[in-house]
Amino acid sequence: MTATLCDPRRHGSNRHKVVSAEDASYLIQSGATVCVAGFVTQNCAEEVLAAVGKRYETTKEPKGLTLLFSGGPGDYGLRGLNHFRHEGMLKRTIGAHYGQVPSLGQMALDGKIEAYLLPMGSTSRMIRAAAQKGPGHITKVGFGTLVDPANGGGKVNSKTTEDIVTVVEILGEKYLCYRAIPVDVAIIRGTTADACGNITMERESLLGDNLVTAMAARANGGIVIAQVERLASRGSLPSRQVRIPGTLVDAVVVASDPKNHQMSFVTPYHPGYSGEVRQPAKLATFANLDDRKIIARRAALELLPNDVVNLGIGMPEGVAMVADEEHVLSQMTLTTEPGVHGGVGASGHDFGPAENYDALIELNQQFDFYNGGGLNVCYLGMAECTPRGDINVTRVGKKLTGPGGFIDISQSTKRVNFLGTFTAGGLEVDVDTDKKELKIVTEGRIKKFVATIPEITFNGSVALERKQQVKYITERAVFELTPNGIELVEVAPGIDVQRQVLDLMEFKPLVRLDPSTNDVRRMNANIFGVAIMGIRQSIFSPVTGRDRVAYDAATNTLSINLHNLTIMTVNDLEVHCAIVEDVCKPLGKRVNVVVNYDGFDIRGELLAAWKAYVKRLKDAYYTDNVRRFCGKTFYRHQLIAALGITREDSPK
């Protein structure tokens, strides 16, 4: 079989570009660099990839390919990029996430191919750099981790020797350069195409990196193969809906089998994920109060009004369930790395899209937002943790996963929370909801707080340099990152600190004792009860009078809720000041403070008095740990000027 196309390098011609998947597969030459768009189980050009794999099985061509990907689309089995699993077909893989393409991961671990693990955001922007004919993606993301050249530069095995991540100096500062890789073939996917190759994506769950992937191939004089669901007449597509212009596309493959063009490998089609309809979205709920819900509940206590949040795949997804249960989900914006802003995210193997989202942007743009400091807080998984607070999630046991968006997100977010069970392998817990205590029924066989790890996916020392606030949350213990290592700061009620925490760690952490009890502080007992914890009432709800000020002895934190409060007179100001002092004076010590300024207003002539009030309270009662939150950027800047504070201390 030979391809029936005209010369595929005649970009922009109005020739008829529709071909079969088999014919399209013959456009890929041995030794080519093939870049495939898609995210986890979403947006995968399955029919094209299957045809390429079948061609190799039949002809042993194309061989020696370099496979470049960010999201690594696959079904955790034999579909998606797993069609490239045949020995000899691949020379090298460069990707961010191998979790759903285990066959490729195993080939890398076995040394059958060269392989790189790189951050998803950097891989995505490497492709974008290739589209611009630039040298690569320049960033500080990755220092101190497995992708740092000092730690191997993301190389998986000894067969992998070429350096594609290097250190460069620009204007006196050091950065990592992720080299742009010229793309010979781009395999992308959309919904509708016309004969000229113009492509829309109205029935796709994500935009992903389809456009920049096509542009990268076009910039290198390469081939762009686009799989679609259906054809439209030439010139009939609404121009504002065209996501990939026909000038970039050489071959259009219309899926012959609907199973090869499902929205994802899990969901044939969901109109909520495509944005076709907005409908009542209800998150899944926990069946019972197990270890996952305990962790999610404790993690949810770290949420603050107006937070922009990233929830990682797996354990962190439970935080959204708890936030929904506590009726505070509407008070924050959830995001996912492939470009979703707002809404309710999909879970499990459908991770990535969301229902009722507010906006959808491309994957590379989302990481621009993340790396630029767009997130307030993130929740990520935790496989192994060291005394310095370093985390490994990329290579655990005999499984190669890769960092995905983990490195980009964890190195760019002010408040970072790692979630995971304290031990693994057979752990069973029970909760006495009457006593609100945790019981360990069967201890896990595998320790997760270990002396050393094979790779560093998160570097605690780098986080300290960047002044990030880092917590490690398990079902029985909470740790914080300090300059001297991780510190045990909380344990669950019913847990023996020595026997069920310290003795099960390969190292001795710092231990913070509560002066009032000379023991480790206990986790919030409401976590272990039947009723909801009341997060909305404690900090999120608009309340009045004395209820606006709450003190949590466990964390020594004063919460001041100014939501929708308007200060109209000097008396209003003095009344509120008196309420705060009435709470603080009896404590006899300085307190950490969280202030919610969302919806707050004050008459202009009272700003000077308000500034004096804030200074008086801070000088008398507050520690240096004062966090302020405000949902409106304009008003936030007004407060910075009015209170005479630095941007670092300003409302977020």
Same domain, 435 and 582: no
Other beta carbons less than 10 A from residue 259's beta carbon = 12
Indicate if 468 and 584 belong to the same structural domain: no
487 near 512, Cβ under 8 Å?
A: yes
Residue 492 has pLDDT above 60, yes or no: yes
- Residues 383, 463, single domain; the answer is yes
Establish if 6 belongs to a structural domain: no
Alpha-carbon distance of 104 to 36, in angstroms, equals: 14
Residues in Cβ contact with 579 at an 8 Å cutoff, skipping those fewer than 6 apart: 545, 546, 548, 549
The span from the CA of 514 to the CA of 525, in Å, is 16
Does 375 share its domain with 473? yes
3-state secondary structure of 652: coil
Of the candidates 256, 275, 309, which is a domain's last residue? 256
Q: How far apart, in whole angstroms, are the C-alpha atoms of residue 226 and residue 248? A: 10
pLDDT at position 374: 94
Question: Would you say residue 22 lies in a domain?
Answer: no
Question: Any catalytic annotation for residue 337?
Answer: yes
Helix (H, G, I), strand (E, B) or coil at 395: strand
Tens of pLDDT along 531-552?
999 888 776 554 456 778 889 9
- The 3-state DSSP class for residue 46 equals helix
Q: Which two tokens stand for residue 500?
A: 């069920």
- The pLDDT score that the predictor gives to residue 59 is 97
Question: Among residues 325, 337, 384, 475, which one is catalytic?
Answer: 337
> Same structural domain for residues 550 and 524?
no
pLDDT at residue 287, rounded to an integer:
83
Residue 437: both structure tokens together:
């205590």
CB 380 within 8 A of CB 319: no
Residue 353: CATH number of its domain: 3.40.1080.10
Is residue 7 one of the residues assigned to a domain? no
| Alpha-carbon gap, residue 84 to 540, rounded angstroms | 50
Whether 298 and 379 share a structural domain:
yes
C-alpha 594, offset from chain centre? 25
Q: Is 129 helix (H, G, I), strand (E, B) or coil?
A: helix
List of E strands, 152-266: 165-170, 173-179, 185-189, 192-193, 199-200, 223-228, 230-231, 242-244, 251-254
The 3-state secondary structure of 478-513, one letter per residue: EEEEECCEEEEEEECCCCCHHHHCHHHCCCCCEECE
Query: What is the pLDDT, as a whole number, of residue 554?
Result: 85
Higher-scoring residue by pLDDT: 20, 634: 20
In this prediction, residue 641 carries a pLDDT of: 58
| Least confident piece of the model among 133-137, 220-224, 646-650 | 646-650
Residues in the chain: 652
Does residue 640 form part of some domain?
yes
Does residue 162 lie within any of the structural domains?
no
Q: 603 and 552 in one domain?
A: yes
Q: Do residues 553 and 470 share a domain?
A: no
Domains in the chain, number: 3
Angle value at C-alpha 450, between 444 and 455, nearest 5 degrees: 115
Domain boundary among 484, 501, 528: 528
Q: Is 150 domain-assigned?
A: no
Same domain, 372 and 448: yes
List 354's β-bridge partners, or say none: 345
Question: Would 533 be classed as within a structural domain?
Answer: no
207 contacts 360 by C-beta, under 8 angstroms: yes
Query: Are 307 and 186 contained in the same domain?
Result: no
The range of the structural domain enclosing residue 97 comes to: 31-134+181-256
Shared domain check, 302 and 238: no
Q: Does pTM surpass 0.85? A: no
Last residue of a domain, one of 256, 285, 310: 256
Three-state secondary-structure class, residue 619: helix
Distance in angstroms between the alpha carbons of the first and the last residue of the chain: 61
Going by pLDDT thresholds of 50, 70 and 90, the confidence category of residue 648 is very low
Residue 396's pLDDT band (cuts 50, 70, 90): confident
A 10 A CB-CB count for 476 gives: 27
Regarding whether 487 and 563 lie in a shared domain, the answer is no
Look up residue 268 and give its DSSP letter. S
Query: Token pair for residue 629?
Result: 């939150």
Burial of 221 (0-12, 13-18, 19+ CB in 10 A): exposed
In a domain, 289, yes or no: no
